[in-house]
Amino acid sequence: MAGVPSSISIVIPTLNAGRAFGTVLHRIMGQGCTPLEIVCADSGSTDGTRHIVSQFPIARFAEIAEPLGPRSWNRAMEQVRGEVVVFLAQDAVPGNGDWLSRLTVPFDDPSVGGVYGRQQVSIVGDPLAGFRLAQRYCAEPHRRRIRVGDTIAYKSLPFFIDSAAVRRSVWRGIHFNEHLPIGADRVWARQVVLASYTIAYAPDAMVIRDVLPGLKAEYRRALLTGYTDQHYGDQGGTLWPDSRHFVKRAAWYLLKGLAWGRLPYLAIEDVAQRYGYKLGRRLDRFSPQLRGRLAPETARPEPPVESDDLAA
């Protein structure tokens, strides 16, 4: 396809990816354009992830001494060689053979700093998770750039690192914010737009994910979002990815689809999210020890000791 960048690196953050990870790598190798390299930025896998990676000639296993998140993203960006760096979640399977081409072709425009693709659940996936992703990702391509008097909200940029591409030269000037316990990908996209670059959306670059809902995961996500909104919030608004009316629309969707069995879970999930978000906004009032127990990601590192202080 015309305009595809000459060098593309793919970064897949991994942590105990499991046997299904081989399917993801196989699908990448079957793309219409071949990437320069596939870097599996691993955060300490103890399963057979390394062995799976070794079966693919252009893939390499890179041990990143950081937990999954913006720190590992930045460390991975330092190790790749491509002009464009594509990030892909370890459980995201490219939906077709043109996924990589369609995700990277917008970089033919030099003003484009980042591109994100569409995410869907499999046909047999959870209906609630499918509805949530359908609400975040529309079917029409578009581009987001700054206009006079325009306010760039996080909700208008569902730039999730699970399937997104970054121009490396732009990243050199705007790194992922390593202080954010959640939402560093969307914050990066907003900063890129405010720096007069363009963020593009490529709906044809679709990945399939088997999103398994869990109350514990949703609670922790809400807790970290509340903390981040309270501690790092700015004019971009809340980092919560769904609208305030999501529950009502989701309930109606489940009723129409005869998925009544998911309604109790939806109600309990909503309570867990509301409680977690409110608690997250109050985490600063707790002691560092208690805050570290509730959300270790919010623990602030001790400031470095100066050599002059040591001498004294």
Domain ranges (residues) in the chain: 8-209, 215-298
pLDDT band at 100 (very low <50, low <70, confident <90, very high): very high
DSSP codes joined into one string, 254-280: HHHTT-GGGHHHHHHHHHHHHHHHHHH
At 190, give phi and psi (nearest 5°): -65, -40
Beta-strand pair 84-88/163-167: antiparallel
| Cβ atoms of residues 165 and 115 within 8 Å | yes
pLDDT band at 304 (very low <50, low <70, confident <90, very high): very low
The single-letter code of the amino acid at 196 is: S
pLDDT band at 286 (very low <50, low <70, confident <90, very high): confident
| Cβ atoms of residues 281 and 226 within 8 Å | yes
pLDDT band at 301 (very low <50, low <70, confident <90, very high): low
155-178: pLDDT as tens digits: 989 999 999 999 999 999 999 999
40-65: pLDDT as tens digits: 999 999 999 999 999 999 999 999 98
- Buried b or exposed e, range 146-185, using 16+ CB within 10 angstroms: eeeeeebebebbbbbbbbbbbbbebbeebebeeebbbbbb
Q: Select the CATH number that applies to the domain covering 8-209 from these four: 3.30.1950.10, 3.90.550.10, 2.60.40.740, 3.40.190.10.
A: 3.90.550.10
pLDDT band at 212 (very low <50, low <70, confident <90, very high): confident
Residue 312's pLDDT is 32
Q: How many whole angstroms from its chain centre is CA 287?
A: 30
Residue 18 token pair: 């499991």
Please give the average per-residue pLDDT across 171-197, as a whole number.
96
Place of tokens 């897949």: 12
Residue 174's pLDDT is 97
pLDDT band at 5 (very low <50, low <70, confident <90, very high): low
| Predicted TM-score of the model (pTM) | 0.90
Q: Would you say residue 128 has pLDDT above 90?
A: yes
Q: Distance between CA atoms of 130 and 72, rounded to whole angstroms?
A: 28
Q: Distance between CA atoms of 102 and 119, rounded to whole angstroms?
A: 14
271-280: pLDDT as tens digits: 999 999 999 9
Residue 306's pLDDT is 44
Please give the average per-residue pLDDT across 217-238, as a whole number.
93
pLDDT band at 307 (very low <50, low <70, confident <90, very high): very low
Q: How many whole angstroms from its chain centre is CA 176?
A: 11
Q: Distance between CA atoms of 15 and 272, rounded to whole angstroms?
A: 26
Average of per-residue pLDDT values in the chain: 90
Residue 6's pLDDT is 66
Q: What percent of the chain has pLDDT over 70?
A: 94
Q: What percent of the chain has pLDDT over 90?
A: 77
